[in-house]
């Protein structure tokens, strides 16, 4: 156990006092109070220490925000904004890449969900000839379509998987530093376990994504495009017909193509969605907020998504290269996403965290 320095104790106390005097800040955000203790050791390769501490989790109603880039979804599942404490941890500075995933597959001969033949019992009524391995691909539509019809731009591609991302005949050659995609939840978990890591909890992910700041709409701050600059790989143009790639990339980008956030972590907004360990429920924040400060929350015991009752879902965070303020602005730092655990697609990947070994200095 490390004794915090006198200065940091005084500082933390002062911040608490300030907040108590004024009540929560605008829209319910209190300050981010980082743990004062230093990292318990050198960071593993490709990871950075996130100190943990107390912060305000969630987002205000984006449709009432004055900033650009907030879309038209009130994101009720990301409220109330509530106080959360997380212990410190290391986090991968980038999304897991194709070359990293390839090393795992080479070492373990792991077969991803997208490469396995779907079981008839999981798809009652499906014709046997339709039960072929594959994954889901975003495909631009030839013309404008209603934005409530997501099947218009998603299709099942037989043979698509992490190292054949467009289906048979495609490969990841030359895309070694691109985020791995077509990853189901168990594929991410298997990699994490092999690497001696684990998937982040949703609270850890958001603490890291906020980069030490509090109440900002974006991982980089208040402005959608500071000085006119794009800060994340998302989608421009008319969704879903043509991605004009104004941010530098139509489709996926190599990891770390944009500036990192306050903790030195890249692409926490846009590029690919990232699996988190928690189950999804839209009322989970309301549940934990009732009990005051939530300490290292790990999500609800089970999942419920009113939009698809009967389909349990895990948390996705960060949004992807097809997020747009016209349709889905979940690149906003406090917003939440969700996915069925066995469903892979070409805009979902992941990154890992690692915690100090038990007994190490706190
Ligand atoms: Ca883009
Ligand atoms: Cu989105």
Using one digit for the tens of pLDDT, what is the confidence trace for 131-184?
A: 999 999 999 999 999 888 888 999 999 999 999 999 999 999 999 999 999 999
d(C-alpha 206, C-alpha 217), whole Å:
12
> Mean pLDDT across the chain, nearest whole number?
91
Distance 322 CA to ligand 2 centre (A): 6
Q: Which residues contact 178 (CB under 8 A, 6 or more apart)?
A: 97, 98, 172, 252, 253, 254, 255
Overall average pLDDT of the 22-30 stretch: 65
Residue 26 in this model has a pLDDT that exceeds 60: no
Report the number of distinct structural domains present in the chain.
1
Looking at residue 137, its pLDDT comes to 95
Q: Which residues surround ligand 2, an ion (CB under 5 A)?
A: 319, 323, 328, 330
Going by C-alpha positions, the residue among 304, 286, 303, 282 that lies closest to residue 294 is 286
Distance 178 CA to ligand 1 centre (A): 13
Distance 320 CA to ligand 1 centre (A): 9
pLDDT band at 360 (very low <50, low <70, confident <90, very high): low
Percentage of the chain modeled with pLDDT above 90: 79
Distance 232 CA to ligand 1 centre (A): 8
Predicted TM-score (pTM) of the model is 0.91
Overall average pLDDT of the 296-318 stretch: 97
Cis, peptide link before residue 30, omega less than 30° from 0: no
Residue 1 in this model has a pLDDT that exceeds 50: no
Q: Which domain holds residue 218?
A: 1-362
Overall average pLDDT of the 265-280 stretch: 98
Q: Which residue has the higher pLDDT, 124 or 183?
A: 183
Q: In CATH, what number is assigned to the domain containing residue 285?
A: 3.90.1580.10
Rounded to the nearest 5°, which phi and psi values hold at 30?
A: -100, 180
Looking at residue 71, its pLDDT comes to 87
pLDDT band at 249 (very low <50, low <70, confident <90, very high): very high
pLDDT band at 129 (very low <50, low <70, confident <90, very high): confident
Looking at residue 13, its pLDDT comes to 40
Residue 229 in this model has a pLDDT that exceeds 90: yes
Distance 361 CA to ligand 2 centre (A): 39
| Nearest ligand to the CA atom of 236 | 1
Distance 323 CA to ligand 2 centre (A): 4
Overall average pLDDT of the 310-335 stretch: 95
């Amino acid at each position: 156990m490390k004794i915090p320095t006198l200065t940091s104790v005084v500082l933390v106390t002062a911040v608490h006092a300030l907040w108590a005097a004024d009540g929560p800040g605008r829209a319910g955000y209190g300050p981010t109070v980082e743990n004062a203790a230093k990292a318990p050791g050198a960071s593993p390769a490709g990871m950075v220490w996130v100190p943990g501490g107390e912060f305000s989790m969630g987002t205000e109603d984006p449709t009432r925000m004055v900033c650009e880039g907030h879309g038209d979804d009130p994101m009720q599942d990301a409220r109330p904004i509530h106080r959360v404490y997380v212990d410190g941890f290391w986090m991968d500075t980038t999304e897991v890449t194709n070359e990293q995933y390839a090393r795992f597959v080479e070492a373990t001969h792991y077969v991803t969900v997208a490469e396995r033949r779907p079981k008839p019992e999981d798809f009652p009524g499906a014709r046997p000839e339709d039960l072929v391995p594959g994954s889901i691909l975003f495909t631009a539509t030839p013309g404008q379509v209603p934005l409530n019809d997501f099947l218009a731009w998603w299709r099942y591609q037989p043979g698509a998987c992490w190292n054949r991302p467009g289906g048979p005949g495609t490969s990841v050659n030359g895309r070694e530093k691109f985020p791995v995609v077509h990853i189901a939840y168990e594929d991410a978990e298997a990699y994490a376990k092999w690497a001696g890591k684990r998937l982040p909890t949703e609270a850890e992910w958001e603490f890291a994504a906020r980069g030490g700041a509090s109440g900002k709409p974006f991982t980089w701050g208040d402005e959608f495009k500071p000085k006119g600059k794009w800060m994340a790989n998302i989608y421009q143009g008319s969704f879903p017909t043509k991605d004009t790639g104004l941010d530098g990339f139509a489709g996926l980008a190599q990891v770390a193509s944009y500036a990192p956030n306050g903790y030195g972590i890249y692409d926490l907004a846009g590029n690919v969605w990232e699996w988190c360990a928690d189950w999804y429920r839209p009322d989970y924040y309301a549940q934990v907020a009732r009990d005051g400060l939530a300490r290292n929350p790990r999500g609800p015991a089970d999942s419920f998504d009113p939009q698809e009752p009967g389909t349990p879902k895990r948390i996705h965070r960060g949004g992807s290269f097809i997020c747009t303020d016209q349709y889905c602005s979940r690149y906003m730092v406090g917003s939440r996403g969700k996915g069925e655990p066995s469903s892979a697609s070409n805009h979902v990947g992941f990154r890992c965290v690692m915690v100090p070994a038990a007994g190490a200095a706190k």
